[in-house]
Amino acid sequence: MSDPRQRVPGTDRVLTHPEVAAAADRLGHRLVKQAVHTAQQRARDGEITVSAVIAETLAALPDSAASGRPVLNATGVLLHTNLGRAPLSEAAVDALRRAAGTTDVELDLSTGRRGPRGAAALAALLAAVPRAEAAHVVNNGAAALSLAATALAQGREIVLARGEMVEIGDGFRLPELLTATGARLREIGTTNRVRLDDYRAAVGPDTGFVLKVHPSNFVITGFTSAVPVAALRGIGAPVVVDIGSGLLHPHPVLPAEPDATSALADGADLVLASGDKLLGGPQAGLLLGRAEIVQQLRHHPLARAMRVDKLTLAALEATLRGPRAPIEQALRRDQQSLLRRAERLAESLSAAGVPASAQPSEATVGGGGAPGVALPSAAVVLPARFAELLRRADPAVLACLAHDRCLLDLAALPPEDDDGLRRAVLGAA
C-alpha cells in the first residue's frame, strides 16, 4: 500500500486555495509560501495528516505582515516607553491611512510646483503655539537637541547647570550627546544648586547658547535652587529650553510640568519638545521659537538627515488639529469612574471563577514626564501568576506586579478596552 504522505498536496495547489491566496494578498507571497512548506514537511514527517496541510498553513500565519503585537497597557504608566509611549488618536490613525499613498507632502497643488515640506503640519503647530515665530520638526527629541547644538554651538560652548546633565534612558547621556556634535560644555553650579550669577559668569564671546533642561525623569529635593527661564532673559546668549515631555500649554492636572507656551513667554529663544509624550502624537522632535534661529536650524545640512516622513507629518497635524488625544483623556479620568470599572471587571471575573478584586491605586505619567507625580487610579487585583500568563494572552496584556499580586491598572486604558481585558484574563485562567 502506498504511503499517504506521498499524497501531500503540491505547493502551487495549496497556494491557489481561496483562503491561502487571500492570505498571500494580505501578507505577501513569500511569507505564505514559507508557511506552506512548513506544513507540507510536517505532513511528510507524520506530525499532521495530509488533509490538514491547508488548515495548518492558515493557522501558522500571523494576523499582519508586521511582527508587532497590540498590547493592553495595564501598568499604570500612561506613557510607557517599551509600549511605544503615546497611543495615537483615531484622527491621527486615519491621517496615517490617508498619507500612506501618494500625497502633496512637498507639492503645491495650486501651481503644480514643489512646495514647502509639511507646511500644513507646521501651520498646525504654530496655530497651537502662537508665541512661536517659527517651527521645525525632526525625528525625535534627541535629534532636536543635536541639531540645535550643531547649528548654534559647534566649536563653541553650551552653558549648562550640573543638576540638569541628565541621562535620558537606555544609557544615553545628555552631555555625551551634546559633545558629540562638536560643542563644548561649560558646566556651572553644583548638582543641587545653581544661581543666576553662575550663568552670568559663564556667558561670554565663546558661548553658543545657554541650555535649560527639564529633569523630566527624576526629582531633587531638599537644599536646592534653580534659575527660572525668565531670569535668563537678556543674558547675552540665546536661551534654549528642552522641556522634554511635550506639553504645549499649562496643564491643570500637571501644574508643575513645563510647557512650550510658558517657556517662550518667559523669554526662551528656542524650545525643544517631544511629539510622542504628553502631546500624544507620533515620535517627533519639535523646535519652536525665534524665526531667525529656527531658519538657521532648518537650513543646516544636518536637518536633512533628521527629516521626518509624510506619515509623521500627517499624524502630527491630526493630533494638533483633532480631538483630545488618548493621553489627554487618560489624564482627565477621575478615580471614582476608574474604580467603578475595576469593580465591574472584578465582579465579572469572580463570577467566572477567577479570583479577582478591585482597589484604588496610583498611576504615573512615565515617558520622562511629571516625575514624582501620582495620579489617582484603580486596579483589578489578580494572583501574581497572571502577570506572565497575560503577556502571552490574546490580546497581550502588560500588568504591574506589586506585593506578590498582579495589578491591572485602568488609568491608561479607555473603557472600550475593558471587554478585551476581561477576555484576556479569562483566556489565561
* CATH number of the domain bearing residue 342: 3.90.1150.180
User: Which residue, among 350, 316, 368, has the nearest Cα to 79 in the 3D structure?
Assistant: 368
- CB burial of 363-389 (b: ≥16 within 10 Å; e: otherwise) equals bbbbbbbbbebebebbbbbbeeebbeb
Is residue 98 within 8 A of residue 322, CB to CB? The reply is no
Is residue 121 within 8 A of residue 280, CB to CB? The reply is no
Instruction: Tell me the mean pLDDT per 10 residues along the chain, length 429.
Output: 70 91 90 92 89 90 80 96 95 96 91 92 97 97 96 98 86 90 96 95 97 83 90 96 93 94 98 96 98 97 96 98 96 96 98 96 90 94 96 92 95 96 94
Residues whose CB is less than 8 angstroms from the CB of residue 216 and which lie 6 or more positions away in sequence, other chains included: 166, 244, 245, 368, 369, 370, 371
Name 380's bridge partners: 358, 408
Number of structural domains, the chain? 3
Query: Are 77 and 203 part of one and the same domain?
Result: no
Give the sign of the dihedral formed by CA 131, CA 135, CA 138, CA 144.
Answer: negative
Q: What is the per-residue pLDDT for 78?
A: 97
H or E element at residue 211: strand 207-213
What string of DSSP letters covers 278-299? TT-SSS-EEEEE-HHHHHHHHT
Distance CA 138, CA 144 (A): 6
Name 401's bridge partners: 406
Q: Is 230 inside any structural domain?
A: yes
Query: Are 296 and 160 part of one and the same domain?
Result: yes
Is residue 13 within 8 A of residue 40, CB to CB? The reply is no
Distance CA 383, CA 339 (A): 19
Query: Are 248 and 352 part of one and the same domain?
Result: no
Q: Which domain holds residue 190?
A: 90-323
Name 270's bridge partners: 240, 289
What 3-state DSSP class applies to 69?
coil
The grid cell for 271 is: 524650545
Q: Is 65 inside any structural domain?
A: no
Distance CA 399, CA 73 (A): 7
Domain closes at, from 281, 306, 323: 323
**pTM for this one?**
0.89
Query: Are 133 and 238 part of one and the same domain?
Result: yes
- Neighbouring CB atoms inside 10 A of 90's CB total 12
Helix axes 335-351, 418-428, angle to 10 degrees: 40
Query: Are 138 and 202 part of one and the same domain?
Result: yes
Q: What is the per-residue pLDDT for 196?
A: 97
CA atoms within 13 A on the CB side of 171: 0
**Residue 188's CATH number:** 3.40.640.10
Distance CA 30, CA 38 (A): 12
Query: Are 149 and 221 part of one and the same domain?
Result: yes
Query: Are 177 and 235 part of one and the same domain?
Result: yes
Residues whose CB is less than 8 angstroms from the CB of residue 40 and which lie 6 or more positions away in sequence, other chains included: 8, 9, 11, 14, 53
Query: Are 369 and 423 part of one and the same domain?
Result: yes
Q: What is the per-residue pLDDT for 1?
A: 44
Is residue 363 within 8 A of residue 377, CB to CB? The reply is yes
Distance CA 188, CA 164 (A): 10
User: Which residue, among 406, 413, 399, 400, has the nearest Cα to 341 in the 3D structure?
Assistant: 413
User: Which residue, among 333, 368, 316, has the nearest Cα to 77 in the 3D structure?
Assistant: 368
Q: Is 66 inside any structural domain?
A: no
Query: Are 120 and 162 part of one and the same domain?
Result: yes
Residue linked to cell 536633512: 304
Domain closes at, from 323, 347, 364: 323
Query: Are 369 and 247 part of one and the same domain?
Result: no
Query: Are 138 and 231 part of one and the same domain?
Result: yes
121, with CB counted inside 10 A (0-12, 13-18, 19+), is: buried
Q: What is the per-residue pLDDT for 4?
A: 58
Name 198's bridge partners: none
Cα dihedral 366→328→262→214 (10° resolution)? 10
Query: Are 311 and 352 part of one and the same domain?
Result: no
Residue linked to cell 471587554: 419
Name 213's bridge partners: 242
Domain closes at, from 307, 323, 339: 323
User: Which residue, among 400, 391, 390, 395, has the nearest Cα to 420 in the 3D structure?
Assistant: 395
Give the sign of the dihedral formed by CA 184, CA 188, CA 191, CA 192.
Answer: negative
Is residue 269 within 8 A of residue 289, CB to CB? The reply is yes
Distance CA 388, CA 406 (A): 9
